[in-house]
Amino acid sequence: MGCTCSQPQQARSQARRHRPEYAIVDSNSCGLIMKKGHRVHLKSVEVEVQVKGYVATVTSTLQYVNEEELPVEALFVLPLPAEAALCHFSTKIADQEVVAEVHDKQKVQEIYADALRSGQQTFFWGETQESPGVFRLAVGNLPPKESTAVTLIYVIELAVQADDGLRFCLPSVLNPQCASTNIVACTCKVPYTLSLGIHITSSIPVSRVVSSCSLEPLIYLNTAQTQAKVSLSPGHKFNRDVEMLLYYKDAHQPTAIVEAGLPNAKQGSLMGDSLVMLSLSPEFPEEVVSSFGERGEFILVMDQSGSMAGSLMRNAKETLLLLLKSLPLGCYFNIYGFGSDFKSFFRKSVAYTQKTMEKAAEKVQAMEADMVGTEILKPLKHIYKQDHLPDHPKQVFLFTDGDVKNTKEILDLVRTHSRSHRCFTFGIGQFAGTALITGMAREGRGFAQFITSKDRLQLKVMQSLSFALQPAVVDISVKWTLPEGMSVTTLSPPLNVLFQGQRALLYAQLTGESSGSDEGTVTVHYSLEGQPVRNQFTFCLKAAEDTGLGIHRLAARSLIQSLEMEHREKKDESLREKVVELSVQSGVSSSFTAFLAVHKGSGQPVKGPLVRDAIPASYLEYDEEYDSDPGHQGKPCELYIPSSWHSPVCEYSVRASASPHCPAQREPYLDLVSLQKAAGNWDLEAKLFDVLGKTEQELAKQKPLQVDSAVWATVLALIWLHGFRTPEQEEWKFIAMKATSWIRSQKVENLSECVQAGNAVLGCRVEEEHLTYICPRHCHYYH
């Protein structure tokens, strides 16, 4: 994890002299905090979630009480998910209510400067130019024994899981004892209560809701089962993240949901008109999946900055080796390492053969965390400039444990090339930048994974590889047919490609009123494996009474992001004005706006401690030589973001406090993996004997007659994997598929005898079918 900022020491020292008291957030400073990092006691958390199709509006109300004998000056601190759109924040102490409202950042800064000149202190918060930050609001003086209510509302698209479930997570970040840990659940006592209710509305029936936490029974609110509610069972201690998975029937059916605008908003404006959200998730016929012939060009990009030293780099190298061995025959690949500069294993991508695989494996073993800084933009530009290989779509796998200052520039680059490639990202450790990791995957139509201390990087990578080895639909177009008197304006950028297992949400604005019918029609055209596909369905134009405006706000955010990108390209000030107008109108912040805390009713800015959202690099005790020292022991973190949110620390790097040199044992099956050939087989050699725990004589004695030694070695390796490494099967399944395919190609006549002999010598009971079955979804890659 490298830092790309570098300020002169004099500037850093000067900035530290003016550092605000509340600027630094340590491992216990989330929630409502006082000076010196002490917390105001949290008494209850009430959460209401409104789900519309694939969008959730989350309203959280937190009740605090000052149990001190004197008034306290308090600050609310909370990281938000990078993909969430915050649209409301308020606090209420007795009759005094403070509301954060969106304003043009230039005007807010003028108010801020005027307040400073007049001796007042004013708060504002807004998105930085590089990365989203941590939300902070000075709530003022809290009298003794007085309570305060903090309410925040954000909107978020629910992530789709591999089994079509929609994941909602309420992190345990507010638990003071759990906030500073990386464990899934802690055993500490939680001195407050939690209530959580979810109301679901969809155009297709709700199937079920499951959770690792105890839930009340799902209640359907209509006979069509398109409306339902569920709640957390009373007594939940909130000592772990609350995760829920929502399932719809006919999950791949396209849907369209209409949401009414604000009654008092201007007609013709985005917030005044109704919006429609179209959901697309094509279902791929099995024959298409099994006959998919595109192999892919796999580009593996690994962070080699100093903070990756020790166990992180060791784990990353083992993962690269596993990924390298799992690639399908016939593909192309290359591997890049980056820090402040970058280098590639090959001048350009090469065909996947035994020779190139062995050469790459040797280079992987030689990789070290010896490259200063974290500069991702340079290697990406180089990768995108390379010629495209016909019938081999580019698949980029990027690994990093850090964050960067130029996140938006990187996302713009990935978005520009989204039609010709797919991007899978892996954030290693709690300080990997969420905006960077999730943003690159989102813009690159890939998948983002975060790996904390309890996760296995190998498993996460194999999950993404499984996702990557899927076909896609291209040339997607959408046509709307509405009754006379109504028109539609598309708000989302064009959708170029959609892979199996992905879902796309498209937003459009409805203008005018229907003269008759209450139904509209959507026609979706796309190409799948060169064949045109047409899908048409009708939807109801009548919006539900309870809007929640979640669709409006996510649509606004989508449009804001597109306009911001266009502004950066064209430098057109009229585009900036459009962004500000839309941001203020929708209450969704942008790079040109900020939240200004005002007293409700008076409209006057809040007076209080000076607090900015983004902590300048000068506030961090940063050592510019840090990443050049692979053996560093790390520095204590001055800014902490609980890993359960997977939030960026800030746009600058913050150091991990753990030593990178903790001991770790190599997984035995990784030794087995390293011995596999590119074609999928193993050779009967001394290193294999060591892994299997048998001597050459023992294996030779059990070997059936007239069986090739490579076949015997491969059967033994597969039996060992199935017999002793079943828990890691998701990690080595592609290794096994290649081996099974190779065995099939050898047309072994006495395979049953081989399996029986292998079981006998290894002491296993693996069925022959386990060594001959290949998942149809992936079999075309390993024939």
The model's pLDDT over 767-783, given as tens digits with 9 standing for 90+, comes to: 888 777 655 455 555 55
Give per-residue pLDDT as tens, 328-387.
Answer: 888 999 999 999 999 999 999 999 999 999 999 999 999 999 998 889 999 999 999 998
Q: Give residue-wise pLDDT tens across range 212-223.
A: 788 999 999 999
When pLDDT is cut at 50, 70 and 90, the band that residue 585 belongs to is very high
**Higher per-residue pLDDT: 229 or 775:** 229
Is the pLDDT confidence value at 610 over 70? Answer: no
Which of 277, 260, 159, 200 has the alpha carbon at shortest distance from 558?
A: 277
Query: Rounded CA gap, 80 and 641, in Å?
Result: 10
Q: What is the dihedral of CA 574, 577, 579, 582, to 10 degrees?
A: -130
Between residues 682 and 35, the one the model is more confident about: 682
End-to-end CA distance of the chain: 40
- The Cβ of residue 600 has, within 10 Å, a number of other Cβ atoms equal to 12
The pLDDT assigned to 776 comes to 47
Residue 130 pLDDT > 50: no
Phi, psi of 314 (to 5 degrees): -60, -45
Distances (CA, A) of 425 to 107, 324, 430, 772: 37, 16, 15, 33
User: Which position has the token pair 């598929």?
Assistant: 737
**Position 178 confidence tier, pLDDT thresholds 50, 70, 90:** very low
Collect contacts of 636-641 with beta carbons under 8 A, ≥24 apart: 637/26, 637/27, 638/24, 638/25, 638/26, 639/24, 639/25, 639/26, 639/615, 640/25, 640/26, 640/27, 640/29, 640/30, 640/180, 641/25, 641/79, 641/134, 641/430, 641/431
pLDDT band of residue 2 (cuts 50, 70, 90) is very low
As a whole number of angstroms, the distance between CA 476 and CA 499 comes to 12
| Range of 557-571, 696-710, 759-773 with top mean pLDDT | 696-710
Q: What is the DSSP letter of 171?
A: -
Find the radius of gyration of the CA atoms of the chain.
Answer: 28
**CB burial of residue 546 (10 Å; 0-12, 13-18, 19+):** exposed
Domain over 261-288+473-542 is classified CATH 3.90.1310.10: no
For residues 36 and 541, which has the higher predicted lDDT (pLDDT)?
Answer: 541
Most confident of 5-14, 128-137, 621-630: 128-137
Q: For position 458, what pLDDT does the model report?
A: 87
CATH architecture of 25-241+587-613: Sandwich (2.60)
Window from 78-82, 447-451, 619-623, 721-725 with minimum mean pLDDT: 619-623
Give the range among 194-203, 394-403, 623-632, 680-689 with minimum mean pLDDT.
623-632
Identify the CA nearest to 43 among candidates 196, 240, 194, 219: 194
Nearest alpha-carbon partner for 660 in 428, 320, 470 = 428
Number of residues written out for the chain: 783
What pLDDT is stored for residue 362 in this prediction?
95
Rounded percentage of the chain residues whose pLDDT exceeds 90: 38
Helix (H) / strand (E) containing 686: helix 686-692
Across the strands, what pairs with 524?
478, 535
Are 102 and 589 spatial neighbours (Cβ–Cβ below 8 Å)? yes
The predicted model gives 679-685 an average pLDDT of 93
Q: How far is Cα 324 from Cα 342, in angstroms, rounded to an integer?
A: 20
Q: What is the mean pLDDT of the chain?
A: 78
pLDDT value at position 574?
Answer: 94
pLDDT band at 33; cut points 50, 70, 90: confident
Work out the number of other CB atoms within 10 angstroms of the CB of residue 53.
24
Contact of 62 with 153, CB cutoff 8 Å: no
- For residue 656, what pLDDT is reported? 29
pLDDT band at residue 68 under the 50/70/90 scheme: confident
Mean pLDDT computed over 651-659: 28
- For the ranges 67-71, 530-534, 576-580, the maximum mean pLDDT occurs at 576-580
Amino acid found at 339: G
Nearest alpha-carbon partner for 554 in 498, 508, 503, 497: 508
Q: Which of 478-492, 513-527, 624-638 has the lowest mean pLDDT?
A: 624-638
**Selection from 733, 729, 736 nearest residue 682 by Cα:** 736
Find, among 178, 306, 400, the residue nearest to 635 by Cα: 306
Look up residue 690 and give its two tokens: 């060591």
Confidence of residue 456 (pLDDT cuts 50, 70, 90): confident
Of 134-148, 164-178, 511-525, 594-608, where does the model show the most confidence?
A: 511-525
Q: In angstroms, what CA-CA distances link 625 with 121, 629, 632?
A: 36, 7, 10
Residue 93 above 90 pLDDT? no
Which alpha helices (DSSP H) does 218-301 contain, by range?
286-290
What does the pLDDT average to over 260-270? 89
pTM over 0.75: no
- Residue 601's pLDDT band (boundaries 50, 70, 90)? low
Instruction: Specify which of 80-89, 450-459, 478-487, 602-611 reaches the highest per-range mean pLDDT.
Output: 478-487
| Strand pairing class (96-104; 85-93) | antiparallel
Residues whose CB falls within 8 Å of the CB of residue 658, separated by 6 or more in sequence, listed in order = 634
pLDDT higher at 260 or 242: 260
Kindly report which listed range (44-53, 261-270, 599-608, 723-732) carries the lowest average pLDDT score: 599-608
Which long-range CB contacts under 8 A does 178-181 form with residues at least 24 apart? 178/239, 178/240, 179/27, 179/28, 179/30, 179/642, 180/27, 180/28, 180/640, 180/642
Encoded tokens for 774:
């290949």
Specify the domain boundaries for CATH 2.60.40.1230 within the chain.
261-288+473-542
Average pLDDT over residues 164-181: 64
Class of residue 398 by CB neighbours under 10 A (exposed 0-12, middle 13-18, buried 19+) = buried
C-alpha distances in angstroms, 226 versus 198, 215, 250, 462?
14, 19, 12, 35
* Residue 288 CB partners (closer than 8 Å, separation 6+): 471, 528, 529
Q: Is the pLDDT of residue 579 over 90?
A: yes
- pLDDT of 782: 57
Query: What would the two tokens of residue 745 be?
Result: 């190609």
**Which tens digits make up the pLDDT trace of 669-678?**
788 999 999 9
- Buried residues in 626-650 as b, exposed as e (16+ CB within 10 A): bbbebebeeeebbbbbbbbbbbbbb
Q: What is the residue-wise DSSP string for 690-719?
A: HHHT--HHHHHHHPPTT--HHHHHHHHHHH
Q: Do residues 713 and 688 lie in contact, with contact meaning Cβ atoms separated by under 8 Å?
A: yes
Q: How does DSSP classify residue 224?
A: T
Could you give the 3-state DSSP secondary structure of residue 8? coil
Comparing 27-36, 126-135, 724-733, which segment has the lowest mean pLDDT? 126-135
pLDDT of residue 292: 58
